[in-house]
Amino acid sequence: MPMKLRVVVFLLMSFSALSALGQSMPPAGGLPPSGGLPLASGLPPAGALPPSGGWPPAGGEGPCAVSKQSNVPARMRDGVVLYADVYRPQTKKLVPVILMRTQYNKEAAQVQPSRFETPQWFASHCYLVVIQDIRGQYASKGTFYEYAHDRDDGYDTVEWAAHLPGSNGKVGMYGSSYVGATQWLAATATPPALKTIVPSNTASDYYDGWTYEDGAFRLAFIEYWMMADIVQSAARNRGDTAAADKLHEQVKDIAKWFKFRPYDQFPPFHRNDPSFAPYFFDAIKHSSDDAYWKAFSIKTRYDKVHVPVLAFEGWYDAFLNGGLENFEGMRKQGGTELARTDQRIVIGPWEHLGWGRPTSPVSPRLKAIGPVANSPVNELMLAWFDHFLKGEDNHVATGPRVDYFEMGENKWHSSDAWPLRGTVYQSWYLASGGHGASKMGDGALTETAPGGKVTGGAQAHAVSEVGGAVAAQTLDAPSDEFVYDPSDPVPSVGGHSCCSWTYGPQGQFDQSAIEQRSDILVYSSQPLKQPLEVTGPVTMTLYAKSTATDTDFTVKLVDVYPDGTAVNLNDGILDVRFRDSLSSPTPIELGKVYKYTIHVWPTSNLFQVGHRIRVEISSSDFPQFAPNPNTGEPFGVSAKWQKATQTILHDREHPSAILLPVIPAGASGAGADKAPQL
């Protein structure tokens, strides 16, 4: 922004702030402060008060009394007015600002389900807390279009908040999911007053790892999130109550809508009304990583971010990969030495909304881990702000640092790098006698490469238990085969989706039931004789051919317990058109063998003695991802589909294998029974 324009903007924003002192200015034509979004079945409103008072917990307040100003206006550079609630500590000292920019209702402030403490709580620690509705949502004016305005509006709001009476000019930001996106987008605009951000459960890119994943459309997340949240609230903001009410009813039939084709004619979003949900149809139209998505990308702009970052992620969150990519990207490319050094991320056994709190909607297996899995977000975030906004020497800045929860052991560990230092990458090869379909088949997972020799000079073979009997397979078996039918896709059982396991495919679950399907290849190791810690990114090298010119391949890493329980650790998918480039998709040749690299999302798990490592291979994971129709047509424009025969090779010339990041015994040190609070 030219200097003269910045001066004008700052004067306008400062005038708006001064005129708002001591008064509450309701937005003309906007929602009243108490206006709430009717709730889709199963989706808790972000920030609603807990029915039983279980969250937020009492206690821990700071020394400052707090007053609240509602609907304080801030004028953006294009004249659009956004409204915020300001929580003011009663002190004569100038204090820092903590800012949240949200599309989920400023009055909610993402308190529920069981995430952040209230704005009053943070303000009591002598911070000026500002919770703002973003453009076109709830009380704020303008037209909502996801991501498009949040860089400029974020810059303008940060500088406006820094000039509020009582502010010392330093601003920190916080919030989860899209509210993490509003932080990153603002930070890439480099506002001078911004000193740190604390984004939780958010991504590095809004094409790959948000809307799509290695070319596959993230169906369950995008359709439900938009129907239940942002499209509804945007409709209410512009006064279209009837349409919002209809969406509120339609989302109750989300299972039906997941099956609707073609996506570019999705009825709930009124395809012929360009004001209703244009961002959804634009997302379908732009199914590759083109200029449309690059305009919003974070990962190409780390050099513009000059501030320290404290991030929170979960092993089963929709944006885990992006959170780790942000950590690594900022360490290497951050715009200042301070930013490159003071990067910290905390990763727990969490889903998108399930943060291990007593009232979190976390899936049952993760819930059973108990209080050791609780998130330290509020305590650690407050200490972080105290250091970077108030200058307190509290030893919270020990970056770069990764605090991670190791499942299986159920302990917390810390590292100064990601991937962890000393990681040993082990290849585990697929093998079978040609009958690897389902867990009843003869698929095996072995450290011996195809055609190799086993220890002791015995005849090369892998051994697996099938129905209690022992079967041998030659390691050089040519292939396994299955038929992928898009009309009968493999059901999602858990995964890394969004936003709650109660209405979406996320979390940790037993995979045993679906492993009986003939369109899932199952490869299992022998029971482990020693514990094996796997922490880090996981990669699958898959040699495969198909009778389609476009199709998907899926990979899932599983921990099999001695009783047969098979729990998913993480998964990955690849639309084969995107095997070489996310920007320039190309079809494959029928019947030609290709070498695919499939990114299985990171995990941290201790495989205990007697457990097995298992890899599942298939071509669908529905509704987590839209089933590939195998036709090769442009994405989302047709309801046609066809079956495809998929062949997975694992011979000498085609050594299909999963690469596991193994941590040597004792290298990660003794684990802690509580998440770090400093």
Is the Cα torsion angle 122, 318, 36, 71 positive or negative in sign? Answer: positive
Count of CB atoms within 10 A of residue 491's CB?
14
d(CA 374, CA 666) in angstroms, rounded, equals 25
Label residues 56-71 b or e (16+ Cβ within 10 Å = b).
beeeebeebebeebbb
Any idea where the domains of the chain sit in the sequence?
3-208+294-415, 216-286, 426-663
Q: What is the pLDDT of residue 53?
A: 53
Give the contacts of 257 (CB within 8 A, at least 6 positions apart): 223, 227, 250, 251, 266, 268
3-class DSSP assignment, residue 245 = helix
Structure tokens at 236: 């209410």
* CB 536, CB 418: distance < 8 Å: yes
Looking at this protein, which amino acid is placed at residue 634?
A: P
d(CA 188, CA 193) in angstroms, rounded, equals 13
d(CA 557, CA 538) in angstroms, rounded, equals 9
Query: Confidence class of residue 477 from pLDDT cuts 50, 70 and 90?
Result: low
* CATH architecture for the domain at 426-663: Sandwich (2.60)
* pLDDT tens per residue across span 522-534: 999 999 999 999 9
Collect contacts of 246-252 with beta carbons under 8 A, ≥24 apart.
Answer: 248/38, 248/39, 248/40, 251/40, 251/41, 251/43, 251/224, 251/227, 252/40, 252/41
User: For residue 233, which phi and psi values (nearest 5 degrees)?
Assistant: -70, -35
Comparing CA positions, the residue from 639, 635, 668 lying closest to residue 286 is 635
* pLDDT tens per residue across span 528-577: 999 999 999 999 999 999 999 999 999 999 999 999 999 999 999 999 99
Give the mean model confidence (pLDDT) for residues 449-461: 51
Q: What is the pLDDT of residue 308?
A: 98
* CB 659, CB 572: distance < 8 Å: no
User: Taking 80 as the threshold, does the pLDDT of residue 447 lie above it?
Assistant: yes
Q: What is the pLDDT of residue 451?
A: 82
Q: What is the pLDDT of residue 453?
A: 53
Structure tokens at 638: 């047709």
Q: Which residues are catalytic?
A: 177, 317, 352
Domain 3-208+294-415, CATH 3.30.70.580 — does that match? no
Q: What is the pLDDT of residue 331?
A: 98
The alpha carbon of residue 364 and the mean position of all alpha carbons in its chain are separated, in whole angstroms, by 20
* CB 590, CB 547: distance < 8 Å: yes
Give the contacts of 301 (CB within 8 A, at least 6 positions apart): 188
pTM above 0.85, yes or no: yes
DSSP 227: I
d(CA 34, CA 45) in angstroms, rounded, equals 13
* pLDDT tens per residue across span 140-191: 999 999 999 999 999 999 999 999 999 999 999 999 999 999 999 999 999 9
Which tops the pLDDT comparison, 24 or 635? Answer: 635
3-class DSSP assignment, residue 75 = strand
105 phi-psi bin (left φ>0, alpha ψ -120 to 50, beta other): left
Torsion angle of alpha carbons 85, 89, 93, 98, nearest 10°? -50
Structure tokens at 461: 């073979």
Angstrom CA distances, 606 to 18, 44, 404, 541, 572, stand at 56, 33, 13, 23, 20
Q: What is the pLDDT of residue 472?
A: 38
The alpha carbon of residue 123 and the mean position of all alpha carbons in its chain are separated, in whole angstroms, by 28
* pLDDT tens per residue across span 37-95: 333 323 333 333 343 458 998 899 999 999 999 999 999 999 999 999 999 999 999 99
Count of CB atoms within 10 A of residue 55's CB?
18
Give the mean model confidence (pLDDT) for residues 437-442: 97
